[in-house]
Structure 1
């Protein structure tokens, strides 16, 4: 349902600044929520791959809880309350949008993967790969974290809080694009840091960082769209979780088939199509 123009009385600039501030607040919150894990296992800072699976899982779980905490604080501070949260069991139509979100994100991901291979584009993996450290068991743990913490927390903050806040100043489609741009933008430092020394970043590093951000932005647009069409947080959360689980599944299969796991996850998809029997 389109937001009536008479309701969109907020300044687009101010709404965008608030939305971006909420995203930054979410990042800052994760720095505090992860402190217990780092206190228990300081090696998580320098060499996470050498720590126990339990320590890594705790860190990742607390990290995503930081996003949920930021959203909850905003709702409380602005007197929006929990009634603002669009959480309910999807209808048959809602489940169809879940399916559309999953299929749409996977098709987009496949097309980007093919393009990366055809153009030989460099692509940087998320720093999360440092916490997996080639451990198949950790991949399975991450899939569970994706379903119960990652997707719910990110969709709550970026869809139900940030995107919905943008409805006050933009049309729903515009709000989807702005929220997705912000979602991609906050991932930029993460991918940039994973590409090498931030003080020695060159054009190729910037390109390698931009490629995965295209995937992040595109996926966010798809999840934002299904949320805008259903006003139900469960719909984008389910699609998001399935998409991320698919990405981790690719890494698991790459290890299973002894592929070069140093490649970006996007490239692994094309490689796996050549070795996995169909």
Structure 2
């Protein structure tokens, strides 16, 4: 009976359902942790770009705290504890994976941007852009948030918790693929609310899945959470850096090459 029970709890269907539930729990936890910011400044609901930078920053930070909280609760409830977290200083070889992940991410996003332009595909607005608007200072604040909160929280929950949970029933590559699809699907409602068509929603969701697959592969190859955290942070920092330059020098009105940089910069998948 014990063997049969274990086979069920570690089976593909159950592992996938648990992984999906964990991913969704991060969203629900974020709704709870961001309540203080929303109550203190209700304008964040209706006109976020008209609120102070401090209000927007606190909201986004608390959002990522929610992801970390969901992962922490899972570790506590299941008795896995913090020893389950694969955190150590990367070796020289692992820093090489970080570099490869950053370059691979840039190449992927440029390829997507070129494809979108060539095929004239519609794409939903990114949720983060609703908090940035055209505020260059907020872009710089976002770089700090990415390094200190966004990358650590998302990689902790979606790689070290969700993806690792899938290892019980799938190969490493299968787990990467399934976790990436789950990560993309939980973004679907957000992009759908900001788009006017299914195609416009599918484009950014596909981008999110691809980015998650890159970071998930880094984690699968190294079993070191700091590797995808570092790659994620540097890559998104690079994107925000491009966005800052686009706003500073008004690249949207420049030549097609500069316009491509703007597209890449605004394809931020947080």
TM-score, length-scaled by structure 2: 0.90
- The runs of 4+ residues in structure 1 deviating greater than 2 Å are 270-273
Confirm or deny that 1:255 pairs with 2:244.
no
Question: How many positions carry a matched residue from both structures?
Answer: 256
Of the three residues 238, 262, 266, the one matched with 2:230 is 238
- State the alpha-carbon separation in 1 of the partners of residues 163 and 110 from structure 2: 26
- State the alpha-carbon separation in 2 of the partners of residues 270 and 132 from structure 1: 14
Confirm or deny that 1:23 pairs with 2:23.
yes
Aligned pairs for 1:213-232 (under 5 A) are: 213-232=205-224
Q: Pairwise CA RMSD of aligned residues? A: 2.1
Whose relative contact order is higher, 1 or 2, with alpha carbons under 8 Å and at least 6 apart?
1
Confirm or deny that 1:33 pairs with 2:33.
yes
- State the alpha-carbon separation in 2 of the partners of residues 215 and 91 from structure 1: 29
Q: Deviations over 1:93-128 (max 9, x none)?
A: 110110111111111111111111111111112111
Confirm or deny that 1:168 pairs with 2:160.
no
Give the match for residue 10 of structure 2: 10
Question: Any conservation in 1 of the 2:22–2:70 contact (CA below 8 Å)?
Answer: yes
Structure 1 unaligned spans of 5+: 1-6, 196-200, 274-278
Per-residue deviation, 1:247? 2.0
Question: Any conservation in 1 of the 2:242–2:262 contact (CA below 8 Å)?
Answer: no
Give the match for residue 97 of structure 2: 97
Question: Any conservation in 2 of the 1:250–1:268 contact (CA below 8 Å)?
Answer: no
Give the match for residue 87 of structure 1: 87
- State the alpha-carbon separation in 2 of the partners of residues 124 and 111 from structure 1: 18
TM-score, length-scaled by structure 1: 0.88
Give the match for residue 47 of structure 2: 47
